[in-house]
Amino acid sequence: MDEIVAHWLQISATSAWFVTVGVALLQVALLLAVVMTLVAAATWAERKVAGRIQDRLGPTRVGGRFGWLQPVADGLKLLTKEDIIPLNADRILFRIAPYLAFAPAFAVFMAMPFSDGWVAQRLNTAAFFILAVLGLEVFGIILAGYASGSKWSFLGAMREAAQVVSYEVPLTFAALIPILLAGSMDLVAIGEAQRGWFWNWFVFHDPFTFVAFWIFVTCAVAGTNRAPFDLAEAESELVAGFHTEYSGFRWSVFYMGEYAAMAAVSGLGAILFLGGWNGPIPLASILGLTEAVGPWAGFFGHFLGAINFLMKCVSGILFMMALRWTLPRLRIDQILSMCWKYCFPLTALCFVGVTIWMLAFPDGVLGIGHPKTETGEFIVYVVKIMAEH
């Protein structure tokens, strides 16, 4: 895209760098717009879902019958609040901590494909990159807890950091299983390996992957500090944990970061296990909207896939919200023991089980077969040649 813009503006090669930077900023702005809309809608959805589960209506006054403009009202209120910094706080760290918690959750969308080939930056280690960057959120938490200068915040932050860091391990292990099945860490390739009908989705591939999917869900909920794992930020426990001393706009930055992280792990789970942009029925290829027919048909086919992906993201977010208002909260020792004594051994067992399943049934149980990926085939070919030597 930068060559097109540079040619259009008739800029020489030596000054073309700011065209590249400008185009990159434009792409980042588009991504941010999509994710911010999702986050704003999620704040409205949270209150509606909470209300419905508790047998009441939720917001109904701002913006008509359904309270559509409630997020706008919330945002305005938070922006106009007084900006308080505690006396004992470390000023610089107090100011940058919310942004350190918010930035990774948005940065992962850079490598997340919304449809076949529709990804901001196609990395061949995309799944690994997303898992690594999601692990950076713990810094915002630690620094916020330390910089607030109060004991509640510090204690809550340490507990929460321990929880997030512990749950990263089974999360990565569970995410490793679809990577194993597809033979590549490239999320576009993983999505392509699940094309077709819904029985090609990795979650239905074998019982071990099915269990691994539910472990992924548990670890994702725990990693984003949502209930029932939200001891560290629960209002009835430690006042508000690490964001006790934050008010107004800074608190809303933490809040946005939490919703963006929820959207990110929902999206990741959708691509890894639930087929990503492939629907239950391959609508695009049935209607003939593929690349082979023509560019516009391909565009509409991919657009249907993107809608599918966003629907899966949103249903993941709604599931997490419903979970929050359904299950009671766990204690910190219960959370950590569940991670190390139950989730982690179970995930390791599933990993071994999947490798054995892949060796025993390389073409699926009923011999139907499933879509192959380029990298997976290359690895199988290389291993075969090495075995012959």
Partner 1 sequence: MDAIAVFFWLLAALAVAGALLVVITPHIVHAAVGLILALSAVAGLFFLAGAEFLGAMQIMIYVGGTVVLLAFGVMLTARLTFVRMRTTADQWVIAILLAAPLATILLQSAWAYGHLKSAQLSLETKATKAEVVSATDLGLALVGVRPQVDGVNGSERQSALDQTTRDGYILPFELVSLHLVVVMVGAAYLARRRME
Q: Which residues bind partner 1 (CB under 8 A)?
A: 2, 13-18, 20-21, 90, 92-93, 123-125, 128-129, 131-133, 135-136, 138-139, 142-143, 146, 154, 158, 161, 165, 168, 184-185, 375, 378-379, 381-383, 385-386
Using CB atoms within 10 Å of the CB of residue 376, give its burial: 0 to 12 exposed, 13 to 18 middle, 19+ buried: middle
Geometric angle at alpha carbon 324, from 320 and 329, rounded to 5°: 130
Q: Cβ 14 to partner 1, closest distance in Å?
A: 7
Q: Which is nearer to partner 1, 97 or 221 (CB)?
A: 97
65-86 core/surface letters (b: 16 or more CB in 10 A; e: else): eebebbbeebbeebeeeeeebb
Q: Cβ 317 to partner 1, closest distance in Å?
A: 24
Q: Which is nearer to partner 1, 93 or 322 (CB)?
A: 93
Q: Can you point out the beta strands (E) in the chain?
A: none
Q: Which is nearer to partner 1, 46 or 168 (CB)?
A: 168
Q: Cβ 68 to partner 1, closest distance in Å?
A: 38
Q: Which is nearer to partner 1, 33 or 383 (CB)?
A: 383
Q: How far from chain centre, in Å, is Cα 19?
A: 30
Q: Which is nearer to partner 1, 32 or 383 (CB)?
A: 383
Q: How far apart are CA 280 and CA 284, in angstroms?
A: 11
Q: Cβ 142 to partner 1, closest distance in Å?
A: 5
Q: How far apart are CA 177 and CA 151, in angstroms?
A: 40
Q: Which residues contact 285 (CB under 8 A, 6 or more apart)?
A: 301
Q: Which is nearer to partner 1, 72 or 382 (CB)?
A: 382
Q: How far from chain centre, in Å, is Cα 125?
A: 16
Q: Cβ 179 to partner 1, closest distance in Å?
A: 10
Distances (CA, A) of 367 to 92, 140, 362, 364: 61, 49, 9, 5
Q: Cβ 307 to partner 1, closest distance in Å?
A: 29
